[in-house]
Structure formats: structure tokens, C-alpha cells
Amino acid sequence: MRLTHVSCAAGAGGMVDVVEDESAFYSKAEQYWQEVPPTVDGMLGGYGNISSIDISGSKKFLQKFLGDGKGKTGTGCALDCGAGIGRISKRLLLPLFRTVDLVDVTQEFLDKARPYLGEEAKRVGNFFCCGLQDFQPQPDRYDVIWIQWVIGHLTDDDLVEFLRRCRGGLRPDGLIVMKDNVAYEGVILDEVDSSVCRELPLVRELVRRAGLQIIYEERQENFPEEIYQVHTLALR
């Protein structure tokens, strides 16, 4: 999902107010990403300069939960959702986990991920080419499922179902992390990349519908003023 918005429509009641044709919503997004260059700048919509700030904030957030002891999350295997060329896998997940799986809807990005990750690509268990609306995580495989800048490409119902499947993919004390843009009010449709940006209360409601609880939440600091607010939520 792009970091800045082109506000084409808005509604307060969820995506039903702004998305009329689900199949077109998904196909237009796939077509958009097929035209995006497989680079860090491409993954971040021209904001490649914020990558280090983003990774630093994510690392501080994630390390609150990792380690040994009751309630702590293990470091065996992580899943990078909407992985693109593996920016987050390379700089956040592979340094912390023994194995990482990547899933993305664009095969070209996954092909680029192998050389981009270099030697560390040997520790990637799977490169899944699949939209998250259709992706089924392997049961009881992941300590952390990282979902960043991609939930806007899912309808409300598909996001709820995907989160439910993710819940089944977690190991004991596993964690789902969602990091994404947040609208000030309602739901904003970006017709250019065929995605939506939801207000935080709606995101929280979808998490609840999926049978998950938000155990920690924070806003990413030090991003440029012109882009959306970005919030990170830890779910169990």
C-alpha cells in the first residue's frame, strides 16, 4: 500500500462504502504492483529514504516480545506478508529468526528477493506467490507473522478471515504484528494502487472479529509529515 494517499472516496462504515467490485479491486492491485520496479524505493512508493527509520522502529517494537520465559515469543520461524523483494525480511526478520517465509502476490518481486537477500536467502524456507486473501499459513509454524503495508489490499471480510488463518499458523506464544497506514476518519480508497486506508477504530474492530486481542500498540515516530500516520499492533 502506498504511503501517501489519493483520496478518491471515503466512508465511515467500512469498505462496503468504497469498494463496489471485489474482483476488480484485487485485479487492479495486482496490475499496479506488476508495474512497480523491484527496488526498495519501489516497495515504498518513492519513500525509500524512510526504510531505516521504519526498520529501527519495528525492531524496537518486536524485541519487546522476543526471548525466553513465560509469554515470550520464540525466534524459530517468521512469516513476512506482502514481502515484496524482502526489505523487511533482510533487515528485520532474518537477523532475529532462524527461518523466514515470504509471501507476495507478485512473482517478479519474489524472484528479485533471492539476490537481494544474498547469502541469507539460504535461510528462507519458502517463497509463496499468492494473494493474502487466498493464502493459508501452515498450522503451528510461525513464532511471528509480520503484516506490513498490505492490509489495505484486503476487503474487510477477507482481512478478518486471513487473520483467523494466521492465528492458526502461530506456535504457542506466537505473535501477529500489523503495521500500516491509519486514516483520520472512515475509509479512504486509493484508486491508483487499489487499496484502502482504514481508521484505527475499524482496524481494531476487524481484529476483534478475527478472535484476536491487541496486546500492544504504538505509533511509528519520525516519518515525514505528508504521509499517513502509521501504527503498529501486536496481536494474539
- 104 carries a ligand binding annotation: yes
Cell numbers given for 140: 503451528
- 31 carries a ligand binding annotation: no
- 21 carries a ligand binding annotation: no
- 192 carries a ligand binding annotation: no
Q: Cα(51)–Cα(90) distance, rounded to whole angstroms?
A: 12
φ, ψ dihedrals at 169, nearest 5°: -85, -5
- 82 carries a ligand binding annotation: yes
Q: Cα(156)–Cα(135) distance, rounded to whole angstroms?
A: 16
φ, ψ dihedrals at 94, nearest 5°: -65, -35
Cβ count within 10 A of residue 121: 18
One-letter amino acid of 125: G
- 132 carries a ligand binding annotation: yes
Interacting residues of 140 by C-beta distance below 8 A, sequence separation 6+: 168, 169, 170, 171
Q: Please identify which residue in the block is written with the cell numbers 504457542.
A: 172
Q: Tell me the CA distances in angstroms from 5 to 147, 190, 195, one per residue in order.
A: 20, 6, 10
- 40 carries a ligand binding annotation: no
- 87 carries a ligand binding annotation: yes
Q: Cα(57)–Cα(146) distance, rounded to whole angstroms?
A: 14
- Binding residue numbers: 82, 87, 104-106, 132-133, 148
- Binding residue numbers for S-adenosyl-L-methionine: 82, 87, 104-106, 132-133, 148
